[in-house]
Amino acid sequence: MKGLAILGATGSVGLSTLDVAARHPDRFRVVALGAQRSAAALREQALRFRPDVVALADPGAARELAADFAQAGIATRVLAGSDALSTLATLPEVDFVMAAIVGAAGLPSTLAAARAGKRVLLANKESLVMAGPLLMRAVAEGGATLIPIDSEHNAIFQCLPHAAGGRAGVRRVVLTASGGPFRNRPRETFRDITPEEACAHPVWSMGRKISVDSATLMNKGLEFIEACHLFGLDPVQVVVVLHPQSIVHSLVEYADGSLLAQLGAPDMRTPIACALAWPERIASGVEFLDLVKVARLDFGEPDLERFPCLALGQAAARAGGLVPAAVNAANEVAVAGFLAGRLNFTGIAEVIESVMNKVTGGPIGSIDDVLRADREARARALEALP
């Protein structure tokens, strides 16, 4: 029986994780659930899964939930504040931590889980983008296991050799990209794209921030950086290929010419179940793939002029050091500005590029360096908003 903490429990990945865990009550016990401020959603989850403890980053929402639990006689403890998310990640009863908070807010709890030697199921790609070398070191030193949940990276994880020393024959990895909702939209209309259009992904159903990232292809830029850190690759060993059907989730190319792919229906419950049970395999509730119905798989080259955010992400990966943290922060501010109606769609790349042109960069010495780069880039991005 493995104790499970789900950070970001009320989000898209959090809900899919609970769905998989609920199918295997003999294997997983939900010990802790955390979120930002959705007290009502967390209350429902607590009633169903009876965790020992829940946490809300927002103190007001946590107070409300604690009062409600006391009145209803629910024994689950309620913790408050951002630090409480890290507390959940390090509880001795917790074996596996699902890191599914969105954005830079997920970094402290992800690091805490790694340092505590947990199995870290990493959906929060932003933490690797910001602090890749620090997080990978924390995993190694903490004796943690890091299993990627991002579907592309989980596919690569599945296709890589798992025997010790087996990486030698790996030549490159191929990240697939659906191309998002605007793959074929006339470019001169990009300025008119609304948040609702950007959040309506043709294949995946996700939270709003990652949906916008998928529409600008910044998501693939972040995933490019994520792949370099996770698998210890040089940026020249990571190739991005457009694949609109999102059936081939990514591939690993070997020295002998073999290309190994992982295929499946586009449903996050597959990578989640893979990471929860690894190296075993368990049912996930995902529909099985009917290749005859799929019939064809298309591949193409991404258009970097149409989607400059992908090029910016790749440039950040090549620059390394603190540049990815700055790009991630600028992207978070720009996306929030777009969702709030302050910035148009094409402005997202412009804001990120203007911040990137001004960042000091330099190597990552400590977490404080990363947090400073994050703060500076946010301030610059806010200045760049119209």
* Binding residues vs ligand NAD (CB under 6 A): 8-14, 35-36, 38, 57, 82, 85, 100-102, 105, 123-126, 150, 204, 206-207, 209-210, 268
Helix (H) or strand (E) run with residue 78 in it: strand 77-80
For residue 168, how many C-alpha atoms fall within 13 Å in the half-sphere facing its CB?
4
C-alpha dihedral, 327 to 331 to 332 to 335, nearest 10° = 180
The residue (of 223 and 353) whose beta carbon lies closer to ligand NAD is: 223
Question: Among candidates 121, 160, 369, 354, which has minimal Cα distance to 251?
Answer: 160
226 binds Mg ion (CB under 5 A): no
CB neighbours (10 Å) of residue 78?
24
The residue (of 37 and 358) whose beta carbon lies closer to ligand NAD is: 37
The residue (of 38 and 344) whose beta carbon lies closer to ligand NAD is: 38
Contacts of 162 (CB under 8 A, 6+ apart): 279
Provide the angle, in degrees to the nearest 10, between the axes of the packed helices 125-142 and 323-339. Answer: 140
The residue (of 234 and 287) whose beta carbon lies closer to ligand NAD is: 287
CB neighbours (10 Å) of residue 152?
28
The residue (of 152 and 374) whose beta carbon lies closer to Mg ion is: 152
* Residue 334 interacting entry, from ligand NAD, Mg ion, none, C-beta within 5 to 8 Å by type: none
Interface pattern 326-365 for Mg ion (x via CB under 5 A):
----------------------------------------
What minimum distance in Å lies between the beta carbon of 103 and ligand NAD?
A: 6
* Residue 14 interacting entry, from Mg ion, ligand NAD, none, C-beta within 5 to 8 Å by type: ligand NAD
What minimum distance in Å lies between the beta carbon of 268 and ligand NAD?
A: 5
* Residue 38 interacting entry, from ligand NAD, Mg ion, none, C-beta within 5 to 8 Å by type: ligand NAD
Query: Residue number with the shortest CB distance to ligand NAD?
Result: 11
How far apart are alpha carbons 239 and 222 in whole angstroms? 13
* Residue 57 interacting entry, from ligand NAD, Mg ion, none, C-beta within 5 to 8 Å by type: ligand NAD
What minimum distance in Å lies between the beta carbon of 209 and Mg ion?
A: 13
β partners of residue 79: 55
Edge-to-edge strand ranges of the sheet holding 238-242: 238-242, 170-177, 248-254, 259-263
The residue (of 222 and 336) whose beta carbon lies closer to Mg ion is: 222
* Residue 267 interacting entry, from ligand NAD, Mg ion, none, C-beta within 5 to 8 Å by type: none
150 binds Mg ion (CB under 5 A): yes
Letter for the amino acid at 327? V
Edge-to-edge strand ranges of the sheet holding 119-122: 77-80, 53-56, 28-35, 2-7, 96-99, 119-122, 145-148
* Residue 268 interacting entry, from ligand NAD, Mg ion, none, C-beta within 5 to 8 Å by type: ligand NAD
Distances (CA, A) of 183 to 210, 249, 301, 304: 16, 18, 11, 11
What minimum distance in Å lies between the beta carbon of 376 and ligand NAD?
A: 20
What minimum distance in Å lies between the beta carbon of 255 and ligand NAD?
A: 29
- At 83, list the tokens: 């630090």
The residue (of 22 and 255) whose beta carbon lies closer to ligand NAD is: 22
The residue (of 84 and 139) whose beta carbon lies closer to ligand NAD is: 84
Question: Among candidates 358, 366, 351, which has minimal Cα distance to 321?
Answer: 366
Site of interaction with Mg ion (CB under 5 A)? 150-152
